[in-house]
Structure 1
Amino acid sequence: MKEKIEIPLSKNKLFLGIGGSLLFVALGIWLFLNADTFQEDSYRLFKNPMLVKGIGIASILFFGATGIFAFKKLFDKSVGLIIDSNGITDNSNASSVGLIEWKDITTIKTEQVMSTKFLLITVTNPEKYIGKAKNRMKAKLMRTNMNMYGTPLSITSNTLKYDFRKLEQIIQTEFKQNKNVD
Protein backbone atom coordinates (compact mmCIF):
# COMPACT_ATOMS: atom_id res chain seq x y z
CA MET A 1 0.00 0.00 0.00
CA LYS A 2 1.41 3.33 -1.03
CA GLU A 3 -0.85 5.71 0.83
CA LYS A 4 -3.15 5.81 3.79
CA ILE A 5 -6.89 5.73 3.07
CA GLU A 6 -8.97 7.76 5.53
CA ILE A 7 -12.75 7.46 5.61
CA PRO A 8 -14.50 10.10 7.76
CA LEU A 9 -17.56 9.65 9.92
CA SER A 10 -20.81 10.83 8.29
CA LYS A 11 -22.44 13.59 10.31
CA ASN A 12 -25.69 13.11 8.34
CA LYS A 13 -25.88 9.39 9.22
CA LEU A 14 -25.11 10.20 12.85
CA PHE A 15 -27.91 12.82 12.96
CA LEU A 16 -30.33 10.27 11.46
CA GLY A 17 -29.22 7.72 14.04
CA ILE A 18 -29.78 10.16 16.89
CA GLY A 19 -33.24 11.03 15.52
CA GLY A 20 -34.19 7.36 15.18
CA SER A 21 -32.90 6.62 18.68
CA LEU A 22 -34.93 9.47 20.15
CA LEU A 23 -38.07 8.17 18.42
CA PHE A 24 -37.60 4.66 19.80
CA VAL A 25 -36.79 5.97 23.30
CA ALA A 26 -40.03 8.01 23.15
CA LEU A 27 -41.91 4.89 21.97
CA GLY A 28 -40.38 2.89 24.83
CA ILE A 29 -41.47 5.50 27.36
CA TRP A 30 -44.97 5.54 25.86
CA LEU A 31 -45.18 1.72 26.01
CA PHE A 32 -43.98 1.68 29.61
CA LEU A 33 -46.43 4.36 30.73
CA ASN A 34 -49.41 2.92 28.82
CA ALA A 35 -48.83 -0.82 29.35
CA ASP A 36 -52.04 -1.27 31.31
CA THR A 37 -54.21 0.13 28.49
CA PHE A 38 -53.18 -2.69 26.14
CA GLN A 39 -55.09 -5.33 28.08
CA GLU A 40 -58.25 -4.78 26.11
CA ASP A 41 -58.59 -4.82 22.32
CA SER A 42 -55.11 -6.09 21.51
CA TYR A 43 -53.23 -9.20 20.50
CA ARG A 44 -52.57 -11.81 23.16
CA LEU A 45 -48.88 -10.80 23.29
CA PHE A 46 -49.71 -7.26 24.36
CA LYS A 47 -52.30 -8.24 26.98
CA ASN A 48 -49.56 -8.82 29.55
CA PRO A 49 -48.64 -5.38 30.97
CA MET A 50 -45.34 -6.68 32.39
CA LEU A 51 -44.25 -7.82 28.92
CA VAL A 52 -45.21 -4.46 27.40
CA LYS A 53 -43.29 -2.64 30.15
CA GLY A 54 -40.30 -4.94 29.53
CA ILE A 55 -40.37 -4.11 25.82
CA GLY A 56 -40.57 -0.42 26.72
CA ILE A 57 -37.60 -0.64 29.08
CA ALA A 58 -35.54 -2.63 26.53
CA SER A 59 -36.31 -0.01 23.89
CA ILE A 60 -35.31 2.83 26.22
CA LEU A 61 -32.04 1.13 27.23
CA PHE A 62 -30.95 -0.08 23.78
CA PHE A 63 -31.89 2.98 21.76
CA GLY A 64 -30.80 5.30 24.55
CA ALA A 65 -27.34 3.71 24.40
CA THR A 66 -27.18 3.92 20.59
CA GLY A 67 -28.31 7.55 20.73
CA ILE A 68 -25.62 8.41 23.29
CA PHE A 69 -22.99 6.64 21.16
CA ALA A 70 -24.08 8.55 18.02
CA PHE A 71 -24.13 11.84 19.95
CA LYS A 72 -20.56 11.25 21.21
CA LYS A 73 -19.42 10.31 17.69
CA LEU A 74 -20.92 13.54 16.36
CA PHE A 75 -18.23 15.47 18.24
CA ASP A 76 -15.46 12.92 17.70
CA LYS A 77 -12.66 14.49 15.66
CA SER A 78 -10.95 11.19 14.83
CA VAL A 79 -11.30 9.55 11.42
CA GLY A 80 -13.91 6.78 11.21
CA LEU A 81 -11.69 4.25 9.43
CA ILE A 82 -8.04 4.26 8.37
CA ILE A 83 -6.61 1.64 6.02
CA ASP A 84 -2.83 1.60 5.72
CA SER A 85 0.17 -0.75 5.62
CA ASN A 86 -0.28 -1.61 9.32
CA GLY A 87 -3.91 -2.69 9.02
CA ILE A 88 -7.37 -1.28 9.58
CA THR A 89 -7.85 1.31 12.31
CA ASP A 90 -11.54 1.22 13.16
CA ASN A 91 -13.24 4.03 15.05
CA SER A 92 -16.66 3.62 13.43
CA ASN A 93 -18.85 1.75 15.90
CA ALA A 94 -19.48 0.95 19.56
CA SER A 95 -17.27 -2.15 19.52
CA SER A 96 -14.31 -0.56 17.69
CA VAL A 97 -10.89 -1.38 19.15
CA GLY A 98 -8.57 0.70 17.00
CA LEU A 99 -5.88 -0.99 14.93
CA ILE A 100 -6.56 -4.46 13.53
CA GLU A 101 -3.22 -5.60 12.17
CA TRP A 102 -3.03 -7.28 8.74
CA LYS A 103 -0.79 -10.02 10.19
CA ASP A 104 -3.58 -11.01 12.63
CA ILE A 105 -6.36 -11.17 10.03
CA THR A 106 -7.16 -14.61 8.59
CA THR A 107 -10.36 -13.89 6.65
CA ILE A 108 -12.73 -11.06 5.82
CA LYS A 109 -16.28 -11.92 4.84
CA THR A 110 -19.53 -10.05 4.34
CA GLU A 111 -22.69 -10.79 6.31
CA GLN A 112 -26.10 -9.18 6.26
CA VAL A 113 -28.74 -8.86 8.96
CA MET A 114 -31.97 -7.38 7.65
CA SER A 115 -30.80 -4.53 5.39
CA THR A 116 -27.49 -3.91 7.21
CA LYS A 117 -24.34 -5.33 5.65
CA PHE A 118 -21.13 -5.62 7.62
CA LEU A 119 -17.65 -7.08 7.29
CA LEU A 120 -16.59 -9.78 9.73
CA ILE A 121 -12.85 -9.65 10.40
CA THR A 122 -11.60 -13.03 11.64
CA VAL A 123 -8.30 -12.87 13.52
CA THR A 124 -5.84 -15.46 14.82
CA ASN A 125 -6.17 -14.31 18.45
CA PRO A 126 -9.63 -12.87 19.20
CA GLU A 127 -8.81 -12.47 22.91
CA LYS A 128 -6.08 -9.96 22.02
CA TYR A 129 -8.73 -7.68 20.54
CA ILE A 130 -11.35 -8.32 23.22
CA GLY A 131 -8.64 -7.34 25.71
CA LYS A 132 -8.31 -3.97 23.92
CA ALA A 133 -11.91 -3.11 24.86
CA LYS A 134 -11.98 0.06 26.95
CA ASN A 135 -14.83 -1.09 29.19
CA ARG A 136 -16.84 -4.16 30.19
CA MET A 137 -19.81 -3.21 28.01
CA LYS A 138 -17.63 -3.08 24.90
CA ALA A 139 -16.00 -6.41 25.83
CA LYS A 140 -19.45 -7.97 26.34
CA LEU A 141 -20.57 -6.65 22.95
CA MET A 142 -17.46 -8.16 21.36
CA ARG A 143 -18.03 -11.53 23.09
CA THR A 144 -21.61 -11.55 21.80
CA ASN A 145 -20.23 -10.94 18.29
CA MET A 146 -17.76 -13.78 18.89
CA ASN A 147 -20.55 -16.18 19.88
CA MET A 148 -22.79 -15.23 16.96
CA TYR A 149 -20.25 -14.88 14.14
CA GLY A 150 -17.00 -16.52 15.31
CA THR A 151 -15.15 -13.19 15.56
CA PRO A 152 -15.37 -10.18 17.86
CA LEU A 153 -14.57 -7.73 15.04
CA SER A 154 -17.03 -6.25 12.57
CA ILE A 155 -17.07 -3.14 10.40
CA THR A 156 -20.10 -1.48 8.88
CA SER A 157 -20.47 1.71 6.88
CA ASN A 158 -23.49 2.85 8.94
CA THR A 159 -21.58 5.74 10.50
CA LEU A 160 -19.09 6.26 7.66
CA LYS A 161 -19.23 8.69 4.78
CA TYR A 162 -18.74 5.82 2.32
CA ASP A 163 -20.68 3.25 0.31
CA PHE A 164 -20.51 -0.29 1.74
CA ARG A 165 -19.67 -2.00 -1.58
CA LYS A 166 -16.71 0.33 -2.14
CA LEU A 167 -15.57 -0.16 1.45
CA GLU A 168 -15.75 -3.93 1.06
CA GLN A 169 -13.79 -3.80 -2.19
CA ILE A 170 -11.02 -1.58 -0.77
CA ILE A 171 -10.60 -3.65 2.39
CA GLN A 172 -10.56 -6.97 0.49
CA THR A 173 -8.01 -5.60 -2.03
CA GLU A 174 -5.74 -4.22 0.68
CA PHE A 175 -6.03 -7.43 2.71
CA LYS A 176 -4.89 -9.53 -0.28
CA GLN A 177 -2.00 -7.15 -1.03
CA ASN A 178 -0.81 -6.92 2.56
CA LYS A 179 -1.15 -10.65 3.25
CA ASN A 180 1.24 -11.32 0.36
CA VAL A 181 3.83 -8.90 1.80
CA ASP A 182 4.47 -10.98 4.96
Structure 2
Amino acid sequence: MTSQNEQIEIPLSKNKMFLTLLGAIAFVGLGLWFLINPPKSNHWLLGNPTLIFIIGLASILFFGLVAVTIFRKFSDKKPGLIINKQGITDNSSGVSAGLIPWTDIQEIKMSQVMSQKFLMFIVSNPQDYLDKVTNPLKRNAMKMNYKTYGSPISISSNALKTNFDELQKLLEYKMNEYKS
Protein backbone atom coordinates (compact mmCIF):
# COMPACT_ATOMS: atom_id res chain seq x y z
CA MET A 1 0.00 0.00 0.00
CA THR A 2 1.26 3.43 -0.84
CA SER A 3 0.00 6.73 0.51
CA GLN A 4 0.35 9.87 -1.57
CA ASN A 5 -1.55 13.15 -1.27
CA GLU A 6 -4.00 11.60 1.18
CA GLN A 7 -4.73 8.77 -1.23
CA ILE A 8 -4.12 5.11 -0.51
CA GLU A 9 -3.84 2.71 -3.44
CA ILE A 10 -3.99 -1.04 -2.95
CA PRO A 11 -2.79 -2.82 -6.09
CA LEU A 12 -4.21 -6.01 -7.52
CA SER A 13 -2.27 -9.12 -6.50
CA LYS A 14 -1.19 -10.95 -9.65
CA ASN A 15 -0.10 -13.94 -7.52
CA LYS A 16 -3.51 -14.35 -5.86
CA MET A 17 -5.25 -13.89 -9.20
CA PHE A 18 -2.98 -16.47 -10.86
CA LEU A 19 -3.73 -19.06 -8.17
CA THR A 20 -7.46 -18.41 -8.50
CA LEU A 21 -7.15 -18.70 -12.28
CA LEU A 22 -5.44 -22.10 -11.90
CA GLY A 23 -8.25 -23.27 -9.60
CA ALA A 24 -10.91 -22.06 -12.05
CA ILE A 25 -9.18 -23.85 -14.94
CA ALA A 26 -9.03 -27.05 -12.86
CA PHE A 27 -12.78 -26.88 -12.22
CA VAL A 28 -13.46 -26.24 -15.92
CA GLY A 29 -11.39 -29.37 -16.62
CA LEU A 30 -13.36 -31.32 -14.02
CA GLY A 31 -16.60 -30.12 -15.63
CA LEU A 32 -15.36 -31.24 -19.06
CA TRP A 33 -14.48 -34.65 -17.62
CA PHE A 34 -18.00 -34.94 -16.17
CA LEU A 35 -19.46 -34.19 -19.63
CA ILE A 36 -17.09 -36.25 -21.79
CA ASN A 37 -16.38 -39.28 -19.61
CA PRO A 38 -18.55 -39.13 -16.47
CA PRO A 39 -17.40 -41.21 -13.52
CA LYS A 40 -19.28 -44.47 -12.99
CA SER A 41 -20.89 -45.04 -9.63
CA ASN A 42 -23.58 -47.21 -8.06
CA HIS A 43 -24.40 -44.44 -5.60
CA TRP A 44 -28.06 -43.39 -5.90
CA LEU A 45 -27.16 -39.72 -6.26
CA LEU A 46 -23.65 -39.67 -7.76
CA GLY A 47 -24.57 -42.41 -10.23
CA ASN A 48 -27.27 -40.25 -11.80
CA PRO A 49 -25.97 -39.30 -15.28
CA THR A 50 -28.32 -36.30 -15.56
CA LEU A 51 -27.04 -34.85 -12.28
CA ILE A 52 -23.41 -35.45 -13.32
CA PHE A 53 -24.12 -33.68 -16.64
CA ILE A 54 -25.73 -30.69 -14.87
CA ILE A 55 -22.83 -30.44 -12.39
CA GLY A 56 -20.31 -30.63 -15.25
CA LEU A 57 -22.10 -27.98 -17.29
CA ALA A 58 -22.53 -25.66 -14.29
CA SER A 59 -18.84 -26.07 -13.43
CA ILE A 60 -17.77 -25.18 -16.97
CA LEU A 61 -20.05 -22.14 -17.17
CA PHE A 62 -19.36 -20.70 -13.72
CA PHE A 63 -15.64 -21.36 -13.49
CA GLY A 64 -15.16 -20.51 -17.17
CA LEU A 65 -16.68 -17.09 -16.45
CA VAL A 66 -14.42 -16.73 -13.40
CA ALA A 67 -11.36 -17.65 -15.51
CA VAL A 68 -12.26 -15.14 -18.25
CA THR A 69 -12.86 -12.39 -15.68
CA ILE A 70 -9.51 -13.03 -13.97
CA PHE A 71 -7.68 -13.27 -17.29
CA ARG A 72 -9.08 -9.85 -18.27
CA LYS A 73 -8.03 -8.39 -14.89
CA PHE A 74 -4.38 -9.36 -15.58
CA SER A 75 -4.09 -6.56 -18.15
CA ASP A 76 -5.80 -4.02 -15.85
CA LYS A 77 -3.21 -1.46 -14.75
CA LYS A 78 -5.56 0.40 -12.37
CA PRO A 79 -5.20 -0.18 -8.61
CA GLY A 80 -7.62 -2.67 -7.09
CA LEU A 81 -8.77 -0.14 -4.50
CA ILE A 82 -8.31 3.61 -4.12
CA ILE A 83 -9.18 5.23 -0.81
CA ASN A 84 -9.31 9.03 -0.58
CA LYS A 85 -11.45 11.87 0.77
CA GLN A 86 -14.13 11.29 -1.91
CA GLY A 87 -14.63 7.64 -0.98
CA ILE A 88 -13.55 4.19 -2.07
CA THR A 89 -12.99 3.38 -5.73
CA ASP A 90 -13.41 -0.37 -6.18
CA ASN A 91 -11.73 -2.11 -9.11
CA SER A 92 -10.98 -5.35 -7.28
CA SER A 93 -13.29 -7.84 -8.98
CA GLY A 94 -15.59 -8.59 -11.88
CA VAL A 95 -18.48 -6.96 -9.99
CA SER A 96 -16.66 -3.86 -8.81
CA ALA A 97 -18.86 -0.91 -7.93
CA GLY A 98 -16.52 1.90 -8.97
CA LEU A 99 -16.61 5.00 -6.75
CA ILE A 100 -18.51 4.58 -3.49
CA PRO A 101 -18.67 8.04 -1.88
CA TRP A 102 -18.26 8.21 1.91
CA THR A 103 -21.56 10.11 2.03
CA ASP A 104 -23.35 7.01 0.66
CA ILE A 105 -21.80 4.53 3.11
CA GLN A 106 -23.90 3.96 6.23
CA GLU A 107 -22.04 0.94 7.56
CA ILE A 108 -19.31 -1.55 6.70
CA LYS A 109 -20.20 -5.09 7.78
CA MET A 110 -18.10 -8.24 7.67
CA SER A 111 -19.80 -11.28 6.15
CA GLN A 112 -18.52 -14.78 5.66
CA VAL A 113 -19.51 -17.67 3.42
CA MET A 114 -17.70 -20.82 4.53
CA SER A 115 -14.11 -19.58 5.01
CA GLN A 116 -14.46 -16.65 2.58
CA LYS A 117 -14.65 -13.26 4.31
CA PHE A 118 -15.82 -10.10 2.58
CA LEU A 119 -16.95 -6.60 3.46
CA MET A 120 -20.50 -5.48 2.70
CA PHE A 121 -21.03 -1.75 2.21
CA ILE A 122 -24.47 -0.77 3.44
CA VAL A 123 -25.27 2.28 1.33
CA SER A 124 -28.10 4.80 1.53
CA ASN A 125 -29.07 4.34 -2.13
CA PRO A 126 -28.44 0.71 -3.21
CA GLN A 127 -30.76 0.92 -6.21
CA ASP A 128 -28.59 3.68 -7.72
CA TYR A 129 -25.63 1.29 -7.84
CA LEU A 130 -27.75 -1.42 -9.47
CA ASP A 131 -29.20 1.04 -12.00
CA LYS A 132 -25.81 2.23 -13.27
CA VAL A 133 -24.63 -1.32 -14.10
CA THR A 134 -25.17 -2.18 -17.78
CA ASN A 135 -23.73 -5.71 -17.82
CA PRO A 136 -26.62 -8.12 -17.03
CA LEU A 137 -24.37 -10.74 -15.38
CA LYS A 138 -22.79 -8.14 -13.13
CA ARG A 139 -26.19 -6.62 -12.31
CA ASN A 140 -27.64 -10.03 -11.37
CA ALA A 141 -24.65 -10.80 -9.14
CA MET A 142 -25.07 -7.45 -7.41
CA LYS A 143 -28.85 -8.02 -7.04
CA MET A 144 -28.14 -11.40 -5.45
CA ASN A 145 -25.74 -9.70 -3.00
CA TYR A 146 -28.42 -7.12 -2.23
CA LYS A 147 -31.12 -9.73 -1.53
CA THR A 148 -28.82 -11.95 0.52
CA TYR A 149 -26.68 -9.45 2.45
CA GLY A 150 -28.57 -6.15 2.28
CA SER A 151 -26.19 -4.40 -0.11
CA PRO A 152 -25.16 -4.78 -3.75
CA ILE A 153 -21.59 -3.75 -2.89
CA SER A 154 -19.02 -6.14 -1.48
CA ILE A 155 -15.24 -6.16 -1.43
CA SER A 156 -12.92 -9.02 -0.53
CA SER A 157 -9.15 -9.11 -0.31
CA ASN A 158 -8.97 -12.06 -2.74
CA ALA A 159 -7.43 -10.09 -5.61
CA LEU A 160 -5.72 -7.39 -3.54
CA LYS A 161 -2.17 -7.10 -2.20
CA THR A 162 -3.39 -7.07 1.39
CA ASN A 163 -5.05 -9.44 3.80
CA PHE A 164 -8.65 -9.25 4.94
CA ASP A 165 -8.01 -8.03 8.50
CA GLU A 166 -5.76 -5.17 7.33
CA LEU A 167 -8.30 -4.19 4.69
CA GLN A 168 -11.17 -4.16 7.18
CA LYS A 169 -9.24 -2.09 9.74
CA LEU A 170 -8.09 0.40 7.10
CA LEU A 171 -11.54 0.92 5.57
CA GLU A 172 -13.27 1.29 8.95
CA TYR A 173 -10.58 3.73 10.12
CA LYS A 174 -10.81 5.80 6.92
CA MET A 175 -14.60 5.82 7.04
CA ASN A 176 -14.51 7.20 10.60
CA GLU A 177 -11.84 9.73 9.60
CA TYR A 178 -13.61 11.04 6.50
CA LYS A 179 -17.15 10.94 7.87
CA SER A 180 -16.35 12.88 11.06
Q: TM-score, normalised by structure 2?
A: 0.94
User: In the alignment, residue 30 of structure 2 is paired with which amino acid?
Assistant: L
Q: CA deviation at 1:66?
A: 0.5
Give the CA deviation at 1:88. 0.5
Counterpart residue number, 1:160: 160
* Aligned with 1:20 (options 13, 23, 27): 23
Structure 1: 4+ residue segments shifted above 4 A: none
Distance in 1, Cα, partners of 2:42 & 2:87:
53
What TM-score do the two structures reach when normalised by structure 1?
0.93
Alignment correspondent of 2:93: 93
Identity, in percent, stands at 47
RMSD (Å), alpha carbons: 1.3
Tell me the secondary structure at the aligned position of residue 103 of structure 2: helix
The answer to whether structure 1 residue 55 and structure 2 residue 55 are counterparts is yes
- 1:32-181, aligned counterparts within 5 Å? 32-35=35-38, 37-38=39-40, 41-180=41-180
> C-alpha deviations, 1:95-135, integer Å up to 9, x for none?
10210010001110111111111000000110111122241
Q: C-alpha distance in 2, partners of 1:116/1:141?
A: 17
Amino acid at match of 2:147: N
Confirm or deny: 8 A CA contact 1:7 1:160 kept in the other structure.
Answer: yes
Say which structure is richer in helix. 1
Q: Which runs of 5+ in 2 are unaligned?
A: none
| Alpha-carbon distance, 1:94 to partner | 1.4
Q: For 1:114-160, what per-residue CA distance to the aligned partner results, in whole angstroms no more than 9, with x for missing partners? A: 11110000001101111222411110110000111010000000000
| SS of residue matched to 2:46 | helix
Q: What is the number of residues matched between the two proteins?
A: 177
SS at match of 1:117: strand
